[in-house]
Amino acid sequence: MRVMAQMGMVMNLDKCIGCHTCSVTCKQTWTNRSGVEYAWFNNVETRPGQGYPRRYEDQERWKGGWVRNRRGRLTLKAGGRVRKLLSIFANPVLPNIRDYYEPWTYDYEMLTDAPLGDDFPVAQPKSLLTGEPMAVEWSANWDDDLGGAPEHGPQDPIVERLRAESETAVKFTYEQAFMFFLPRICEHCLNPSCVASCPSGAMYKRAEDGIVLVDQDQCRGWRMCVTGCPYKKVYFNHRTGKAEKCTFCYPRIEVGLPTVCAETCVGRLRYIGLFLYDADRVTAAASVEDEHDLYEAQLDLLLDPADPAVIAQARRDGIAEDWLDAARRSPVYKLAKEYRVALPLHPEFRTMPMVWYIPPLSPVVDRLTETGHDGESAGNLFGAIDALRIPIGYLAELFTAGDTAPVRRVLQKLAAMRSYMRDVSLDRPRDESIATAVGMTGGELVEMYRLLGIAKYEERYVIPTAYEGDAHELEEIGCSLDVEGGPGMTGSGPFGEGSGTPVPVSVETFQALRERQTSEHVTDTGQPGARVNLLNWDGKGRPAGLFPPRASR
């Protein structure tokens, strides 16, 4: 057993309203640059729908992830090392920019420069690739909220598979349609096929927290990672010629802050915490024969952070005490392993993804109430799960490689929680049989309710900071505030404002950001002449340094 720590996320799909706030804040933070206009480290897909890029789940076409070969060993679906090198001059299965969308801007200048006339001037869309006028035909969420579903919906690879395998026809007529939202980031897999696909060895998994990153200095733009990732969450920056991907906001995670997508989620549906897993068994778990066993195999990898044997081994493997403590309080471990209500996305890709989803249940209660039943009675709820408007088969294709049993168990647990909590809220005697029917205790249901329903900030995000011991390294150039232009690093060098060494990002942004986000009042750096970074200004009051000092009167 070799214990490693992994940052993980759980998303509660019942709460996602598809507002795209996570996508927008993520984009503003990471990809608001030329070359990655089309890159959405976080995107929200409407399901059923084609996803982004279009039909990325169809691995017969895109060849992402791993497959188990006849000898029972894992190989990359797009081919092994030799085949990769032989096809390095032209990757045979790289998505085209049009499989994402052609990025564009508008000719805004026309709005102000157009000569006076009878017609209103129009800002024409212009391609950011060619500069030519273009017709906007697709984007990252073109089929949002089932827009154009009768036309686009049947091309959802899961809808196709359901139709072929079980003749479950997913309906797209207005009265019979269903939808839910699926926010996606990089899965930071335990067995990442993008890392395995990188010929240069520029992609790596961080040993401390399992975050998968691209070394921008080592990436040579061979593009194999884009093919390798079955979730298509590695993007090729077409200006710099380098791969870029979701970073799990590691600079924030290192100081104990949640990712930007999680922090700004208005539904508070994201949970971040640690998993401890057995690194020695990852390959074996990813190679189990039956795809339906992959979910269980993945759960088996997750170690109980309260088990003394695990703790002892974790200490031997160099995991710090505060991390072990955080692992014991981890909300993601509770949701995935203890309550077993969170499921991995597409385990059949055999990458052991570490972003988990609680499948949506919501519409069932209203549905039952409409038909004159008591929508929150446990018996009615259990019976109705198979008649859900969102077909259980569809959820199973997403989360358990098509095995409906685990999905049904999760939905039953969520239904039991509602039913049980109604008695608690109405001060009625608690019906423990509801809890035992789903293999839990009443106490566990209440705890789960607290985590899912109340969802306090400190309980949703249990993030240990980077080790105290090397905390100084987090500050760039390994320096502290007392060098380089003196205390405060005011950012003014010998040749006036803006000259000299720029203020290291870690000093200015992250410490300040953390302080400002956790304190109740205006944060004053207390240093004369210190400037406020407007991007971090929280709008509270007028901190010193917001305006430059007045000229002496």
Partner 1 sequence: MTPLDVLLWGVAPYVMVAVLVGGTIWRYRYDKFGWTTRSSELYESRLLRIGSPLFHFGLLVVIIGHVIGLIIPKSWTDVVGLSQEAYHVQALLLGGVAGISTLVGIGILIYRRRTTGPVFRATTGNDKLMYVVLVAAIVAGLTTTLLGAAGGEEHNYRLTVSPWFRSLFILQPDITAMSRAGLAFQLHALIGMALFTLWPFTRLVHAFTAPLGYLFRPYVVYRSRSAGAATRPARRGWEKIG
Q: Which residues bind partner 1 (CB under 8 A)?
A: 81-82, 84-85, 88-92, 94-97, 127, 129-132, 191-192, 195-196, 198-201, 203-209, 213, 215-223, 236, 238-242, 466, 470, 473-474, 476-478, 484, 493, 500-502
Q: Of 165 and 476, which CB lies nearer to partner 1 in the complex structure?
A: 476
Closer Cβ to partner 1, 191 or 523, answer by number: 191
Nearest approach in angstroms of CB 318 to partner 1 is 10
Where would I find the beta strands (DSSP E) of 285-342?
none
- Closer residue to partner 1 in complex, CB, 181/510: 510
In the complex, minimum distance from the CB of residue 450 to partner 1, in angstroms, rounded to a whole number: 33
Indicate the residue among 176 and 216 with the shorter CB distance to partner 1: 216
Three state DSSP letters for 313-379: HHHHCCCCHHHHHHHHCCHHHHHHHHCCCCEECCHHHCCCCCEEEECCCCHHHHHHHHCCCCCCCHH
Location of structure tokens 């791993």: 66
With a CB cutoff of 8 Å and minimum separation 6, the contacts of 4 are 207, 210, 276, 277, 278, 279, 317, 319
Residue number with CB closer to partner 1 (153 or 228): 228
**Could you tell me whether strands 3-12 and 355-358 are parallel, antiparallel, or unpaired per DSSP bridges?**
parallel
Q: Which is nearer to partner 1, 207 or 405 (CB)?
A: 207
Shortest Cβ 228–partner 1 spacing (Å): 10
Q: Cα separation of 310 and 307, whole Å?
A: 5
- Tracing tokens 């009051």 back to the chain, one arrives at 541
Task: Using the minimum distance from each CB to partner 1, give the nearer residue, 21 or 127.
Answer: 127
Q: CB–CB of 77/423 below 8 Å?
A: no
- CA distance readout (Å), 166 to 152, 160, 386, 512, 517: 21, 10, 15, 55, 51
Nearer to partner 1, 121 or 493 (CB): 493
Question: Angle CA(137)–CA(139)–CA(141) in degrees, nearest 5?
Answer: 125
Q: Quick one: DSSP state of residue 456?
A: -
Minimum distance from CB of 217 to partner 1 (Å)?
A: 4
Cα–Cα dist 45/141, whole Å:
7
Q: What is the smallest separation between the CB atom of 348 and partner 1, expressed in angstroms?
A: 19
Cβ atoms of 492 and 499 closer than 8 Å: yes
CB of 329 to partner 1, least distance (A): 22
Residue with tokens 């102000």: 112
In whole angstroms, the minimum distance from the beta carbon of 247 to partner 1 comes to 12
What CA–CA distance (Å, rounded) separates 175 from 178? 9
Cα distance between residue 124 and residue 229, in whole Å: 35
Interatomic CA distance for residues 451 and 272, integer angstroms: 12
Task: Please state the closest distance from residue 506 (CB atom) to partner 1, in A.
Answer: 9
Nearer to partner 1, 476 or 497 (CB): 476
Question: What is the phi/psi pair of residue 552, to 5°?
Answer: -60, 135
d(CA 84, CA 81): 5
Report the residue number, 80 or 528, with the smaller CB distance to partner 1. Answer: 80
> 545's torsion region: left (phi>0), alpha (psi -120 to 50) or beta?
left
Our CB check for partner 1 shows the closer of 236 and 399 to be 236
User: Smallest gap, in angstroms, from Cβ of residue 208 to partner 1?
Assistant: 5
Residue 244 DSSP class = E
Alpha-carbon distance of 399 to 342, in angstroms, equals: 9
State the nearest-atom distance from the C-beta of 75 to partner 1, in Å.
10
Q: Which amino acid is at 217?
A: D
Q: Residue 35 or residue 442: which is nearer to partner 1 going by CB?
A: 35
Minimum CB distance to partner 1, residue 381 (Å): 42
- CA dist 319 and 59 (Å) reads 37
CB within 8 A of 83, min separation 6: which ones? none
Structure-block tokens of residue 537: 């200004």
Cβ closest to partner 1, residue 221 vs residue 453: 221
Q: How far is the CB of 541 from partner 1 (least distance, A)?
A: 33
| C-alpha span between 152 and 143 (Å, rounded) | 7
At its nearest, how many Å lie between partner 1 and the CB of residue 522? 30
Rounded to the nearest 10 degrees, the angle between the axes of helix 392-399 and helix 157-166 is 120
